[in-house]
Amino acid sequence: MTGRVFGKTIIVTGGAGGLGHAISRLLAAEGAAVGVIDVDGEGAEGVAQSLTRDGARSIGLSADVSDWRGISSAARQIEKKLGDIDGLVNNAGLAALGSVHDADEESWRRIMNVNVCGVVLASKAVLPGMMERRRGVILNIASIAGLVGIQNMAAYCASKGAVLSLTRQMAVDYAPYKIRVNAISPGTIGSTEMGQRLLSGDASPEARSRRLARYPMGRYATADEIAQAALFMLSDEAEFATGSNLTLDGGLTAV
């Protein structure tokens, strides 16, 4: 087997969900050994078993990225079974509707803990080994919500803005160790559960039409399209890219 990430070991957090599953599947097809981490342990194991049946090396584990003991233990188990960690995809994330004036404190903290602290803790779990070996790639799945304001999504926008800022900061810190840190900012991914929840919040067909009309390409992204971009960023083809953010939004933020 050969491929664009052949021989690399890559962790995908939130790997049981729509986008995480798509990324895991594509990385495995392109030759990577894939560690699938998700708070849904059965889902993570199911994805890993599917990849293994297709001939890849994979392991699925249950862990909450906002819990240091859990995520660090999962990273160690993946390294023990699959080898040195070459890449990390910080994909795990949460979203909820709400503005600042009616913010639910528990929901706000949970979104920040998963979307921001989860990136920090998962990265912390793999960085020492990457620094020692002087190679590695970290890819943070951000969002256009970190670039523009989205009505009634205060916590999510704040968290993804933090992810983009953290991506730039980490790129500066770890470039001397030949570790690349980049982000991808998708628009709405219509094929995922999170995307469907967002779209279901539109109160009427007219509201859904107005949302779609904001996209110059006239449609939403698919998980497979975002996965292709992730593959590029994790491959050696992007070896001079660090501190960058690849926006995949069908032209929404260009308008």
Q: In the structure encoding, which two tokens stand for residue 201, read together?
A: 């919040």
CA dist 48 and 208 (Å) reads: 35
pTM, full prediction: 0.94
Sign of dihedral through CA atoms 16, 19, 25, 31? negative
Q: Is 60 left (phi over 0), alpha (psi -120 to 50) or beta?
A: beta
Contacts of 8 (CB under 8 A, 6+ apart): 31, 32, 33, 86, 87, 234
What is the per-residue pLDDT for 207?
A: 75
pLDDT, tens only, 39-92: 999 999 999 999 999 999 999 999 999 999 999 999 999 999 999 999 999 999
pLDDT, tens only, 182-199: 999 999 997 666 666 666
Task: Tell me the pLDDT band of 24, cut-offs 50, 70 and 90.
Answer: very high
What is the per-residue pLDDT for 211?
A: 80
Contacts of 218 (CB under 8 A, 6+ apart): 212, 250
CA 23 to mean position of chain CA atoms: 9
What is the per-residue pLDDT for 206?
A: 78
Assess whether 156 carries a catalytic annotation: yes
8-state DSSP, 113? I
Beginning with the edge strand found earlier in the chain, give each strand of the sheet holding 87-90 in spatial order.
58-62, 33-38, 9-13, 87-90, 136-141, 179-186, 245-248
What domains can be seen in the chain, in order of their start residue? 9-250 (3.40.50.720)
CA distance to 47, 137, 182, 184, 227, per residue, from 239 (Å) = 28, 9, 11, 16, 18
**What integer best gives the mean pLDDT of the chain?**
95
Buried b (16+ CB within 10 A) or exposed e, 80-90: eebeebbbbbb
- The answer on pLDDT for 212 being more than 90 is no
CA dist 207 and 209 (Å) reads: 5
Side-chain half-sphere CA neighbours of 97 within 13 A: 10
Using only the alpha carbons of the chain, give its radius of gyration.
17
- Which one of the listed residues 156, 174, 215, 220 is annotated catalytic? 156
Around Cβ 118, how many Cβ atoms within 10 Å?
26
Q: In the structure encoding, which two tokens stand for residue 112, read together?
A: 């920040």
In the three-class reduction of DSSP (H, G, I as helix; E, B as strand; rest coil), residue 11 is classed as: strand
